[in-house]
Structure 1
Amino acid sequence: MDLSNTENFSPITADLSDIIEVIDDDERSISSGEASDIETNIPPVPKPPSAPNETIYTIPKDVEDQYIRHTRAKREQKTPHQIYQACTTLIAHMKALGLDLPIFLDAVFWGNDEAIDDRDIQYERTVFLRSLELPRILENWRKPPRSSHSITRPAGGTKTMNSFAVDTVVDLAKGELSHLGPQLHLSTTDDVSPDKLTSINLVELEDLAKDHAPILWSFLKAVLDTGQGKKWRRVSASIAFTIISMISYTQSHHHNRLQKLLAVYMKFRGVSAKGFDTLHAMGLTMSHKWTCDAVERISSQCMSEVVAKMKQYPWLISYDNINIPFRVFSQRVDNRGEFGNGTAATVYIKRDAPKLPDGITQLLKETRAAGLQNPLTASDINDLASNSYPRIQEQMAYLVLRFLLDSPEFDFGTYKYRKSSSLRAPKAVDQLPTGDDHITLQYLLGTTNIAEASYEDNARLIDEWLSQLGWMTEAQKREFALAKLVFWCGDQLTVDRLRHLFIYRGSDDTSYDRMDYSVLLFGWFHLQMAYANSLHRQYLGTERGRGLQHAFDLLNRKGLTKVLTQGPFHHNLDEALRHVAEAHIREDWLEVAEVESLAELRSRPAEELKRLAMRVVKKRASSEALDKLDSKGAAGMDEELRQVIMWNRDVLQYLVLDAAVKSGDVGMMESMLPHLLYRFSGSGNSKYAIEVLELMQGLYREWPKDVADFARHHCWLVNTTGKPGKFCPVDMAQEHNIRDIKVTYRSQGPNIKWGYLKRLHPAIHVIRKVTEYIEKEFGTLVRGSKHTIPKAELDIEKLRGAYHETGLHSYKAGRRIKVEAERAEDYMTEGAIKLNQGKGSAKWNEGRNFERSDKERVEEDEDVEMAPRSPSPLMTLLFEMAEQREAGAEGEASTELL
């Protein structure tokens, strides 16, 4: 190639003449930061898009390919040696012209004003910048290859290229962050709403980062990629977004979505104020002061929200006592630690419930007055029991069938008829619906330092809760009492004291003072506890017999000998009752089906197994079976087998009730009421016998249909998830909220007082939602949220082996229980006898047969507080007797669900 005459030299050949006219060096494209030499009839590459949906324009593929083909054609015409020779010639010519490579390259690439507009230089520059060789050239500048005769890599332009790369990435990242930052803003109006706080999941936030900061995202993902597989890639994406959020937050404190979420989360996961200072300095959370202020704003918003929803939907309320230790670090006369006794309350919003009709308060007064004159009789209760027992028996048979199907020996997974409809659960009597539309909303009220220690305390608590909900003045309260009904739910002690207040105030001046607006309902969770405790008392026995004490000793179950009201006693007792029940029922399957092992039943069709299950119930778990055994007389009596049959009947009904509660079958719960009355009457538990009687009296005598339907469908159970099988009693939900107050989201520090707790606790349902959101999005939800339940098969088989070895389930005429402590009383039968003899029910009816005022006597001066009318001598006597009875009885403590 002759380079002596540079003016006449042109690299443009005839075959590329069609491209010449599209070559240009437009200054506008240079000033935009783009290395493009394409003329205006082929649009230059524009700036990066400002929105995720904006399309980036690329150079037409056919034009770019022509540049590449041009270089390829020239390369194919030369051998490597020829290229080398051309290079040496070119370098020599440059030297002759007084140029070196830096000067030459600087002039070609926009460093010389005249060279910018030269058509030949424009073309060669464009060919170079669009060539496939450019990436390799840049890489070789940054990291030159070693020569074959040297072990040292040339320095090359490593420092310059690295510095250039860093500067370029920094510039690009800053530009991307300026676009991304506003997308991460969470306003002060949105950061108090749980829906707004959790409206975008982590994957969507990561997509925002990918769209608005693609280079920074790619850089972080590449650095975090350790090749550990798909799971790590998911984790690394969360880490990358967290890093980007921290960087964006340092640029502006308005880019704070993740910081606000993590601040609320950390506050209630035990992070101290000093820890907050550190995390805030790192850009990971908001400051501790902001968090405290935000929680108070959330709490205020929650109270406003619950008041608004109470106007829109039906609702109920529950409350229970709470004990909170307050610590101080420097004791003074006016600054001492204490163990505070207070009360926590929850409002439950039932969005799926129909609104009660207008005038329901007055109608309730009338039906109550009529119901007082028409109490339930023993005959009424016996009829209810007779009509409901077939439904209960059907559920008992299904539980017996499940015990067989779930046993490893039967191996249901390989059972030939496992898909038969005969193995399905019986249809629910009255099933509550599930789904998102039926989720119960919970709102905690401000915890107060009024203890539930007396009737006066409960009267103050009613005023406190209604005041927090907006009914503060006397006029507002009177108006409220004439237009609204309040369904109060709690444990037996709470409801009993409210009922005595209701009686004691029966002759007061206004509906509010008389509590005419109140409907009182006991909590089913505490009733289940009372049922389990009665089974414990009834069948404990001794270690030498075959009662519960024998099972506890055989299985080494500690802490179950004595009934306790605190700690995990109820949970442990419930598990033990189930295991003992299943061991007995498996043995009864062998006796009734006349087989040597449960595996032999695998050959029976599903329909036959269902019939056999009902036969097991009738022959080994019913009052009819007891009567049949009693008819054999003293010579034919088998007392030990009789006690097994009685145990099976009682424990299966306990399990039927528990299954109904968890599944939301309120019809089955209602069917159990007369049988529960028999049990509590027979076992001497007069408190729960009265509660069951009061509920039945309300359902069948005193409440209008709308009130009774609302009570059974919306005041017994709640479902905070909307999922099947996730129902729980209202009082259990209250215990869960108390656990959250005391343990899960507890407040720590020396300055925690009742006033702070009152302001804080309405925010807990938001805190709970944010916590679950963070732990779900970052994959930590499973840790500590539930524990693995060990399989009980070894325990059940150990018990079953002990029963089988002694022939406990085989009939033996004349077998006696020799130790009187081993003999269990028949609470069900004794309760039925007491009821039919009028014992207890007559006293109950006498205690509630009172006259109530229906007048509204209001002072003209609204600001004058009215003194209540003096109660009648009968009311005073009843109240004093109740106070004395409560003072002498041991208070019912709330169970700690830790």
Structure 2
Amino acid sequence: MSPNSPSTNAEAILQCMHNKNVSFGDLFEALQKPLTVNDRDNMNRSLTENFAEDPLPWAFEIVQRELRREVNNLSQRQHGLHFNNGKATANFLEGSFMRKAAEKMGQESPLLWKLVTSLLDANAKGRRIANHQAKDGRAEKEALERIGNTSEGDLGDIGGDKDDCEDNDMETDSDKTVVCISIFLQSTNAKCNYLQSVLGLFYHSASVPEKVIETLAHAGLSISLSSIHRSVKSLSQEAMKKLQDSVRTLKTAFAYDNFDIHFKTSQPTLEHSDTFVSATSATAIPLHGVGDEQVLRCSQELWERDPINPSPRVTPVQVDINDLLEFHKCSEAAKPPSGPGKLNPSLERYAWHIRDILLSHGPPNFKNRFAKNLGEPEPINPIPIHKTNQIPCRAMNIKESTPDGNIEVVECLLRQGGIGEPADEAFDHTSDVDMSESVLLVHGDLLTKERLDSVRNSRSIEATPKRRFQFIIFVPGLFHFKMACADALWRTWIQPSASRTDANSLFQHVGILRPKETGKIGTNPGFRRMHDIIHHDIWASMLNCWALEAAERNPQWTTLEEFAKADPSWELIEEMSRSIVQKYVGTTPLISRERRKPEKERDDVFTNQILRNYNELLYLETSHAMNVGDIGRVEETFLQWIYIFRATGKHKYASQILRFMFNLRDVYSPELSQIIRHNWLCNPTGKPKGFRGVDWLVERNNLFTKVIYGGSGSNRTIEHIIEESVLIELFRDCHVTVENGFHLVHRTIRHHPPNMVRTLRRLGQQFAENAPHRFTPGRRADYQVPDKIAQGMSDIQMTKAIDPTDEEGEESAVGADDLIEDSE
């Protein structure tokens, strides 16, 4: 008998049981006990080693057949992983596509998901994940049952027990699993290309070279170039339809501005020279808060009262300097204090900013204790918080810098939107909408307003409302208004050479804040630099005022840190902030009184400083009101800025802002004025403090169009930019979707605010040394800074004129830094 025969082996087992004194009952009882994980692993390893030649191919064939079944099933259309490039829509970017794909794949193909995950984490020594288990094991159990019910026999459990596994959510590994399975699915079914389509559009919008895209397509990580182009064409058509659907409601505003691009060539020739193109971009913004559509059907009513109407039915109402007096009477500054110990509503907001500076930039104890007490300034007319959904229009190769160019731009926008007059040759009676009775809000900068006024004046004798351009209600862009405010303060405090020599001048402070940029700031600082300088200077100034006020209240409070240790009450903080306003904020009446004093009794340095505090707090209030969307508070600052603009040579801004204030009050109906006000700012994020000027949104679109999504190499042409300009918002959504799906970091141009502690401390030392807030009779300054508000008032009263008396330069250019979103 063979030594390895079954009979011999059985005898050996029986002899072993006899020697160990084990009965058959003991053997059966031991076999019924559940095996531990280690026992099972040892048994599986032993069985595999002893029977590797026979069961492994058989078992692998069963698993392979089940995995193929899962891939084939998952690649079918009903699972939502198909993408039709020829009929692409923007809906495919909704939600978190990687998370949804992972959930779908884990549910519909649990064995495939588990296999790929385990192969991606095969190194036991460097393993990041102990075990990947599906959160819901029912799908896996059903799959195993399908294998176990096959005629070849039951393989039993695969892997460990669910209860013994550690659930560790590793997003990066999940992403890799989705990518691998997506490659399997596209290889099985070419139409199952959801991930590849998203990535293909992402590569295209990021100006990835075509050779790289072709390589990625061959590797299964993108669709082909021709499919990408079909997707872009389909998405463009859908975008234009979305634009028309919105504009044809006649409840959509337009905003447009020019953008310049220089297409350079490496070696200019007669045939291919450098090309400078001045084009125009535009966007459409559905109006928020339009309850009654009839409010916007007032084109004829407004035309009958328009001063340029050659045959008005009623006497046109025009603005004059007497209206300034009426605006003063209705302003917040003219209202009495709301209670004992308080200031008028306008100065109360300045006191709020002074408290905010203490909490934000003073000792940390204040913010920790009083953050909830601070709140917000008293609102006047806040815009309801909502997310603004813009619809980019197709860019136009039209130079917008002339009146004729503006005519072309507006008519092109009306055609894109599918509205017009039935008498127009291009009017499609089957789908276009008659706009003859309606008005349209158009946002833009000051130069756009002037050119449109020129067009309306020259066309006032035309026969139809559209040809007269009477439907346009121009809304001044508040982002450019804010830039004009910063420029006016630069003209007041830095531009005059005589203003720079005083030790406490703003230019001397620039040497501390930006020591390497004094030359640039002295000539043409741009908006962003001046915006930051104003904020940083008023922060340091108000902290110095807080220190002085605290020391006056208690000589032991020699520093703000000592003041913080004393645990002052919030009531005391409020009282001190109002006292600071009264002492150190130079309103026009206060400045006038100080400067009428005899020379020996006045302090020029002190007066200059409190005047600068007032100007800078006015800018803070304007900026903060815009960001929180309180359009009423923004309007409250207009009167002061009108006078400052007039005194600093920005006459056109003064004139246009005053005329628009007048129109909101006396020309437009209250309902129309409220619609204009609530759509004067936009909120691209839908978050508090997320409001921006609509013209800011257009400038951001220009940045995306020219720099980010403008193509590269041979694709960077004006034709390419125009063709894909309608997709800039979709491309942006695509970038956000991919960045979120793959958990990318460092994906924004918005930088973390710099740590200003040491800089403010150094500037605070400058304030302490020069003591500009300590009144010293007889102290002289090299330059007595004019009160531009008083100067502007005097100029208007003397000339009796609202319109500008001279011309001013072009609008300031907007750079990428100017578009950085900030909290103020």
TM-score exceeds 0.5: yes
Find out whether 1:809 has 2:773 as its counterpart: yes
Distance 2:518 2:87 in 1: 48
The 1:261–1:779 alpha-carbon spacing in structure 2 relative to 1, beyond 3 Å, is: same
User: What displacement does 1:545 show?
Assistant: 2.9
Alignment correspondent of 2:114: 218
Query: Within 5 Å, which residues of 2 pair with 1:166-315?
Result: 166-182=60-76, 183-188=79-84, 192-199=88-95, 201-225=97-121, 226-228=126-128, 233-312=170-249, 314-315=251-252
Cα pair 1:194 1:769 within 8 Å, conserved: no
From 692, 711, 724, give the equivalent of 2:688. 724
Give distance in 1, aligned partners of 2:637 and 2:543. Answer: 25
Between the aligned partners of 2:420 and 2:15, the Cα distance in structure 1 is 98
Map 1:731-770 to 2 at 5 A: 731-770=695-734
User: In structure 1, what is the equivalent of residue 661 of structure 2?
Assistant: 696
Alignment partners' CA distance in 1, 2:354 and 2:257? 37
Superposed displacement of residue 636, structure 1: 0.7
Query: C-alpha distance in 2, partners of 1:627/1:544?
Result: 21
The equivalent position to 1:546 in structure 2, one of 504, 514, 521, is 504
Say whether residues 1:412 and 2:366 are aligned partners: yes
User: Match for residue 606 of structure 1?
Assistant: 570
Aligned to 1:360: 298
Alignment of 1:647-666 (within 5 A): 647-666=612-631
Structure 2 distance, partners of 1:363, 1:628, is 48
- After superposition, give the CA deviation of every residue in 1:166-209 in whole Å (9 maximum; x if it has no partner): 44433222111111112243343896332333245322211111
3-state SS of paired residue (1:441): coil
CA contact (8 A) 2:362 2:543 kept: no
Matched, 1:325 2:267: no
* Cα separation, 2, equivalents of 1:410 and 1:139: 63
CA distance in 2, matches of 1:600, 1:472: 69
Query: What amino acid is aligned across from residue 686 of structure 2 in structure 1?
Result: G
Report what 2:444 is aligned to.
490
The CA distance in 2 between the partners of 1:180 and 1:547, in whole Å, is 71
Matched, 1:316 2:223: no
Could you say which residue in structure 2 is the equivalent of 1:432? 383
TM-score by length of 2: 0.81
Task: Please state if 1:398 is matched with 2:352.
Answer: yes
Q: Distance in 2 between matches of 1:543 and 1:708?
A: 47
The CA deviation at 1:709 is 1.4
- RMSD over equivalenced CA pairs, Å: 3.3
2 CA distance for matches of 1:754 and 1:546? 50
Does the alignment pair 1:529 with 2:473? no
- Report deviation, 1:458: 1.3
Could you tell me which of 523, 532, 537 is aligned with 1:575? 532
Superposition TM-score, scaled by structure 1 size: 0.75
Write the distance in 2 (CA, Å) between the matches of 1:693 and 1:391: 22
Does the 8 Å contact 2:247/2:418 carry over to 1? no
- AA aligned to 1:388 is E
TM-superposed deviation, 1:496 = 1.6
Query: How big is the shift at 1:751?
Result: 4.5
Distance 1:164 1:536, change over 3 A: farther
1:253-289 deviation line (CA, Å, top 9, x unaligned): 1111111111111111221111110010011111111
- The corresponding residue for 2:25 is none
Q: Which moved more, 1:501-510 or 1:663-672?
A: 501-510
Distance 1:296 1:796, change over 3 A: same
CA deviation profile, 1:856-887 (whole Å, cap 9, x unmatched): xxxxxxxxxxxxxxxxxxxxxxxxxxxxx87x
Contact 2:247 2:419 in 1 (8 A): no
Distance 1:725 1:657, change over 3 A: same
- Aligned match of 1:832: 793
Equivalence for 1:140: 46
Do the aligned partners of 1:364 and 1:704 also contact (CA within 8 Å) in 2? no
Aligned to 1:507: 461
Deviations 1:306-338 (A, max 9, x none): 111223472111111111233557866544441
Contact 1:539–1:548 (Cα < 8 Å) also in 2: yes
* Alpha-carbon distance between aligned partners in 1 of 2:437 and 2:14, rounded to the nearest angstrom: 100
Shift of 1:570: 1.6
Cα deviation for residue 440 of structure 1 reads 1.4
Structure 1 vs Structure 2: percent identity of aligned residues? 21
**Aligned partner letter, 1:778:** F
Check the 8 A contact 1:313/1:353 in 2, yes or no. no
Contact 2:255/2:282, CA 8 A, preserved across alignment: yes
The structure number with the bigger radius of gyration is: 1
Change (3 A) 1:781 1:768: farther
Unaligned runs of 5+ in 2: 1-5, 23-27, 130-166, 334-343, 428-432, 818-824
Count of aligned residue pairs for this structure pair: 721
CA distance in 1, matches of 2:317, 2:500: 46
Cα–Cα, structure 1 residues 210 and 410, in superposed 2: closer, same or farther, change >3 Å? Answer: closer
Q: Distance in 2 between matches of 1:560 and 1:291?
A: 49
The answer to whether the 8 A contact 2:420-2:434 is kept is no
CA contact (8 A) 1:314 1:355 kept: no
- Any idea what SS the aligned residue of 1:475 has? coil
Inter-partner Cα distance in structure 2 for 1:168 and 1:579: 71
The alpha-carbon deviation at position 704 of structure 1 amounts to: 2.2
Counterparts of 1:690 and 1:200, CA distance in 2 = 49
Q: Distance between the aligned counterparts of 2:371 and 2:516, measured in 1? A: 41
- 1:706/1:834 Cα in 2 relative to 1: closer, same or farther (>3 Å)? same
**1:294 counterpart SS class:** helix
Q: Which amino acid aligns with 1:581?
A: I
Name the amino acid aligned to 1:555. Answer: L
The unaligned stretches of length 5 or more in structure 1 are 1-5, 10-73, 87-123, 144-155, 848-884
1:41-120 superposed matches below 5 A: 80-81=16-17
Alignment partner of 1:891 is 2:785: no
Provide the C-alpha distance between the structure 1 equivalents of 2:596 and 2:197, rounded to a whole number of angstroms.
Answer: 74
> 1:290-311 deviations in whole A, cap 9, x for unaligned?
1122112111110101111223
Distance 1:80 1:268, change over 3 A: farther
Which residue matches 1:860?
none
Residue matched to 1:444 = 392
Code of the aligned partner of 2:223: M
Distance in 1 (CA, whole Å) between partners of 2:466 and 2:799 is 35
AA in 2 matched with 1:277: E
Partner of 1:462: 410
- How far off is 1:249 after superposition? 0.6
Task: Describe the SS at the equivalent of 1:483.
Answer: coil
TM-superposed deviation, 1:489? 0.9
Rounded to whole Å, the distance in 1 between the matches of 2:72 and 2:709 is 37
